[in-house]
Amino acid sequence: MIKLIALVPLFPLIGFLINGFFGKKMSKGMSGSIASISVLASFVVSVLAFIELQHAANKSIVFELFSWISSDTLKIPFEFLYDPLSSLFLLIITGIGFLIHIYSIGYMHEDEGFSRFFTYLNLFVFFMLLLVMGNNYLIMFVGWEGVGLCSYLLIGFWFKNTAYNNAARKAFVMNRIGDLGFLLGILLIFVTYGSISYGNVFSKAGIGSPEVVTSIALLLFVGACGKSAQLPLYTWLPDAMAGPTPVSALIHAATMVTAGIYMIVRSNVFYSISDVASETVAIVGVLTALFAATIGLLQNDIKKILAYSTVSQLGLMFLGLGVGAYSSSVFHVTTHAFFKALLFLGAGSVIHAMGGEQDVRKMGGLKGKIKITYITMLIGTIAISGIPPFSGFFSKDEILAHVYEHSKVLWFLGMITSMLTAFYMFRMLFLTFFGNFRGTHEQEHHLHESPSSMTVPLMVLAALSVLGGLLGLPEFWHQTNWIGDYLDPIIAHKNPSILNHDTEWMLMGLATLSAVTVIYFAHAMFITNKVLPAASEDKLKPWQKVIYNKYYVDEFYDMVIRKPLDLISTLFYKFIDLQVVDGIVNGVGSTVKGLGSAVRLLQTGNIGFYVVSMVMGIVLILLFTFII
């Protein structure tokens, strides 16, 4: 079955082509079924190949499909790599992707762009699979750019709304900034090692000078910052909520934002060599995690709250990568995919029940109206808050334990982030499902549970959010940490744990106690004392206004970057374009036109004049010939 792994990206591509060419001629049920079955087929092959890989002697298998680029100095085959890292990501992408496709059939059923939506969704999955399966940086880059394109199409799916188009454009442009760093990193890899294939590059990584390796690692990290929404390139991700909710789940949980994590883990040899690059990754990660978590405290849009939680959780993953806990970060990618997809799809179910309303200030009392959505979102909220024995506890605790070994300061900041996460997530849960209903009478009359096509994926993801922690049980709970051992072959340099069991128990207990305390405080605030968010920004305190407006980062970018660029562009347009470029072009045209008008006067129609002119012309030619 491993030999058939090349079919995994082919199935979504076929689904994309069928829906793209014939979607409008098919029924919605047929269009959605074809898209979903194509991803399901990829998932089935991925599962069977994953099972076979467990018993294979060779854990790293390369499939060369054809010679892609061949020149004197550059030879790039089109080949796939199937190993423990890619096998895990294939399961996440296709498994979560399939559930999101099923959910989308119910969620998007009334939308006029139904087949177009599934066309984009299949293409998105195809490019993400290409990204993680490629055996060189160029194939990764093709998939990287492909998911960027698809994110633009899906975020701006409702293109009649100008604000949504602006959000899509913002995501596209900010990702291009990161992509430039990634591309420069690839070029530097080729110049240094003469190849961009993983095997050739990683085997010779040590021959590069420390400065060059650090430069490569930092350039790749710039690309990861763009795709995985780290400081300072994070502002596109919250705005990506403009797209349909299933798109938010796909981008935030299973695909696009995890691409940066995958790329760093795949390139871990560079970061293991460069302490400067690793420290940079850790510091940017923890600052992003803390920064986004504080913003999430005062957001009122249910999807924006989840968006900032994604940015924060990605920051924790990068913090883990920066301290060398690569398998721990992949573990958190896995559990995060479970509970974040659950939370986003649950939010979509709430929005569906509320008739499109996304403001938690206008919700409340929904737990009795949409019970399945409430219970599943409660499970997801507990998981992301790090309460045992749910999945998020094990993956987050494992990262923080490794960080504690590396730096007590970074660990403390990570702990604060974790506590803030528990607070704003339960704030969202309490405001949405508890208390009295605060919406309109029409919305209350409209309240109903979502169809089974939406609730069944929620239940599956809820089960995974509970049981996902079994993938990485601590070694003193279990004989081995499965996910750590499984990913061991692809990690270049291992950092063995130096913590004793007493310290690990202490850290786990402290993390649990802090999370429970924060949840109790949130309960007292929003349930017991019935505190509600301010109805308008004018009623916020000055420091609350700063957080509510996301520290005015967007406004800062607008003032410092966009407006000066607009001014420069205007000046270039008025003086360079209009005066110089247009002046030259129009000048040439005017000159030719003037000469033509002057020469036209010679055409008198007098035959005698023509004869004299011909004779004079011949005489001049003869004189010129003799003189020369």
Question: Does residue 595 share a domain with residue 514?
Answer: no
Average pLDDT of span 183-205: 94
How far is it, in rounded angstroms, from Cα 259 to Cα 166? 23
Question: Does residue 443 share a domain with residue 320?
Answer: yes
Q: Is the peptide bond before 9 cis (omega within 30 degrees of 0)?
A: no
Local confidence band at 628 (pLDDT 50, 70, 90 cut-offs)? low
Local confidence band at 55 (pLDDT 50, 70, 90 cut-offs)? confident
Would residue 393 count as lying in a domain? yes
The DSSP secondary structure of 275-294, one letter per residue, reads HHHHHHHHHHHHHHHHHHHH
Question: Does residue 588 share a domain with residue 488?
Answer: no
Would residue 48 count as lying in a domain? no
pLDDT in tens, 139-151: 999 999 999 999 9
> What is the three-class DSSP state of 297?
coil
> What is the three-class DSSP state of 354?
coil
Question: Does residue 617 share a domain with residue 495?
Answer: no
Question: Does residue 604 share a domain with residue 458?
Answer: no
Burial degree of 527 (CB within 10 A; 0-12, 13-18, 19+): middle
Mean of per-residue pLDDT scores for the chain: 92
Q: Taking the complete model, does pTM exceed 0.85, yes or no?
A: yes
Would residue 183 count as lying in a domain? yes
pLDDT at 255 (0 to 100): 79
Question: Does residue 509 share a domain with residue 573?
Answer: no
Tell me which residue of 187, 185, 180 sits closest to 73, measured CA to CA.
187
User: Apex CA 344: angle with CA 340 and CA 348, to 5°?
Assistant: 165
pLDDT in tens, 395-446: 999 999 999 999 999 999 999 999 999 999 999 999 999 999 998 888 888 8
The residues near 59 (Cβ < 8 Å, ≥ 6 apart) are 53, 83, 84, 489
Question: Does residue 332 share a domain with residue 248?
Answer: yes
Q: Which domain holds residue 297?
A: 135-534
Question: Does residue 602 share a domain with residue 488?
Answer: no
Boundary (domain end) residue, out of 518, 534, 550: 534
How far is it, in rounded angstroms, from Cα 90 to Cα 95? 8
Would residue 41 count as lying in a domain? no
Would residue 96 count as lying in a domain? no
Question: Does residue 357 share a domain with residue 457?
Answer: yes
Percentage of residues in the chain having pLDDT higher than 90? 77
Question: Does residue 379 share a domain with residue 461?
Answer: yes
Would residue 309 count as lying in a domain? yes
Q: What is the 3-state secondary structure (H, E, C) of 145-184?
A: HHHHHHHHHHHCCCCCCHHHHHHHHHHHHHHHHHHHHHHH
Local confidence band at 90 (pLDDT 50, 70, 90 cut-offs)? very high
Would residue 44 count as lying in a domain? no
Question: Does residue 462 share a domain with residue 356?
Answer: yes
Number of domains in the chain: 2
Question: Does residue 582 share a domain with residue 519?
Answer: no
Would residue 71 count as lying in a domain? no
